[in-house]
Copies of this chain bind each other. A is one copy, B any other.
Amino acid sequence: MADTIVAEPISEEQTVRVDLGARSYDIEIGRGLMQAAGSQIAAVLPGSRLAVVADETVAGLHLETFTDSLSAAGLDYTVLTVPAGESTKCFSQFERLCDEVLDARLERGDAVVALGGGVVGDLTGFVASAVRRGMAFVQVPTTLLAQVDSSVGGKTGINARHGKNLIGAFYQPALVLADTAVLDTLPLRDFRAGYAEVAKYGLLGDAEFFAWLEQNWQAVFAGGPERDEAVARSCQAKADIVAADEFEAGKRALLNLGHTFGHALEAAVSYETTRLVHGEGVSIGMMLAHEFSQRLGLISDETVSRVHKHLTDVGLPVRIQEIPGQLPKADTFMDIIAQDKKVSRGALTFVLTRGIGEAFVEKGVDPAVVSDFLKEKLEA
């Protein structure tokens, strides 16, 4: 990526503990961690045999390094590959992987490893939760989005005919290994999209972190120690929220800052990633959530401008109109929002904010006000 700052090949490791009682686990973060993955896994799951699930793209880039480290640690493993892309999160791949993990004769104490981005992590986690009613599970996320979001918190799942992530389990890994050096191989667009979730942690609950990001985002992109720091602080932020609300009964909804609008935008383009990827939807969605909060008199113009400046500085989209191609009308967006799984008994729930780092969940938002706001934004 950016080549003005040259990152060290191997950095000191940081550990974030996700505190969930008997289901607690560590997230290890650092450059070059992949080379030591085998010994890390062997330390947590001594004697386990592994089924490693990777998509074809990630397998081409990182599988050899990863499996070399497994062999070096004396771990026995089987590799299972799946096609790259969102359509892999389906019932038929779920069934196929369950059968293949059983083919490999893994026992209950053995482990299923997800090596890849969110798609592989979500699918593999659900497989791990279901085979023998629960195998050990290890996440080795290879995208920024997966490192700071999908591999923390235990949400696993596949997509259904009715929508994304509608079938799955809350299932915690035994270990997460986030090698920040592998992010050097990510396309810039994907890095940026993951960064939207990093910025989200500042915006929802940590003004100081957001200010730090405003100062240090270039180094985060470049791969310096600031990248490790940003990943670790993001994981810690999510871990704290998940520890308070593992099964999404309350506070965890804060993590949806920008996501109600964001999901609606993704659905509106039929999840065509050439037009919009998840993190871009979140970026536009966070901007809309701040503008909507400002409309409700909750925050100032200055706060809105500050969010706008940072997201555009890093190259993220902030306006619906930045999405290429035709978009539906406000009524269609409202239908999509009403179907969103975060809707509870007909009322609209949004994450709003009272300032940088001061997001809150509002369950009684009037649909008419949202509709008017969206109409205006679509015509802007």
**Which residues of A approach B to under 8 Å, CB–CB?**
47, 91, 95, 98-99, 102-103, 107-109, 126, 129-134, 155-157, 160-163, 166-170, 247-248, 341, 343-345
Instruction: Tell me the smallest distance from the CB of A363 to a CB of chain B, in Å.
Output: 13
Known: A102-B163, A131-B166. 17 other contacts (CB 8 A): A47-B345, A99-B160, A102-B160, A102-B162, A102-B166, A107-B345, A108-B344, A109-B344, A109-B345, A126-B130, A129-B169, A131-B167, A132-B166, A133-B169, A134-B169, A134-B170, A169-B169
Report B-chain residues with C-beta under 8 Å of the C-beta of A157: 130, 133
CA–CA, A85 and B169, complex, Å:
26
Report B-chain residues with C-beta under 8 Å of the C-beta of A108: 341, 344
Instruction: Tell me the smallest distance from the CB of A162 to a CB of chain B, in Å.
Output: 4
CA–CA, A248 and B341, complex, Å:
32
CA–CA, A85 and B130, complex, Å:
22
Chain B residue, CB-CB nearest to A162? B102
Give the dominant DSSP class at A's interface: mixed
Instruction: Tell me the smallest distance from the CB of A146 to a CB of chain B, in Å.
Output: 18
CA–CA, A341 and B135, complex, Å:
12
Is B109 a contact partner of A133 (Cβ separation < 8 A)?
A: no
CA–CA, A126 and B168, complex, Å:
10
Is B161 a contact partner of A343 (Cβ separation < 8 A)?
A: no
Instruction: Show 17 residue pairs from A and B whose CB-CB distance is below 8 angstroms, ordered by the A residue.
Output: A98-B166, A98-B167, A102-B161, A102-B162, A102-B163, A107-B341, A107-B345, A108-B341, A129-B169, A130-B167, A130-B169, A131-B167, A132-B166, A133-B157, A133-B168, A133-B169, A134-B169
